[in-house]
Amino acid sequence: MRTNIFWALSIAVVFLFLSACDKNPRPKDMPAPQPTTIKIVQAGQGLDEASVVLHPIEGKWQAGGTTDSSGMATLFTDGRYQGAVPGKYKVTVSKRESTGGGPSIPDAEKDPVGYGKAMSAAATAKPATFFNLVDPKFDSAETTEATVEVVQGKNDLSVDVGAAVHVKIGK
């Protein structure tokens, strides 16, 4: 679960950094993004810490974001322009977790004994195992069944990804 929180926070920080630091106007060929939020629902509840990407059916401007504790995500086009460009989209949703993979490694200067023990444990630890927590069909624009349309004005969208799953990734 810590891995999911780390990735969700990392993505949120990148989006905030890019939106705060980018003083350049949007590209000339980009239509004005419209304010857009999307709620991701799984098993009747908002799905937190999920990555959401809108893939344009026609056009080139993707939008994406990460859901909060209620399953809501504010979308950004091209990672820096708040909102989504009007058009029809396929929606991908992913949320993963990992198990195993060894201990966390403390700072060697602050805790040399703990560092040494953690490094020894890590050398013999089983590799991490990763799981999809959303039906894998939502992982790809080619396989997702979810579509939405962004229109002029405020857009409050919703996608239901069905039942909760725990599907091992890879071998």
CA-nearest of 156, 157, 155, 159 to 32 is 155
- Looking at the predicted structure, is the pLDDT value of residue 121 above 80? no
pLDDT in the model for residue 16: 56
- Looking at the predicted structure, is the pLDDT value of residue 116 above 90? no
Which distant-in-sequence residues (6+ apart) come within 8 Å of 83 by Cβ? 32, 33, 34, 35, 36, 63, 75, 76, 77
Q: What is the tens place of the pLDDT at every residue in 84-93?
A: 999 999 999 9
Query: Does the 2-95+136-162 domain belong in CATH 2.60.40.10?
Result: yes
pLDDT in the model for residue 32: 96
Average confidence score pLDDT of the chain: 86
CA-nearest of 72, 46, 54, 43 to 146 is 54
Q: What is the tens place of the pLDDT at every residue in 8-19?
A: 555 665 555 555
Any idea which residue has 């401007």 for tokens? Answer: 61
pLDDT band at 7 (very low <50, low <70, confident <90, very high): low
Q: What is the tens place of the pLDDT at every residue in 28-72?
A: 999 999 999 999 999 999 999 999 999 999 999 999 999 999 999
Q: What is the gyration radius of the CA atoms in the chain, in angstroms?
A: 19
pLDDT in the model for residue 6: 55
Tell if the pTM clears 0.75, that is, is over it. Answer: no
Q: What is the tens place of the pLDDT at every residue in 125-138?
A: 667 789 999 999 99
Structural domain boundaries of the chain? 2-95+136-162, 96-132
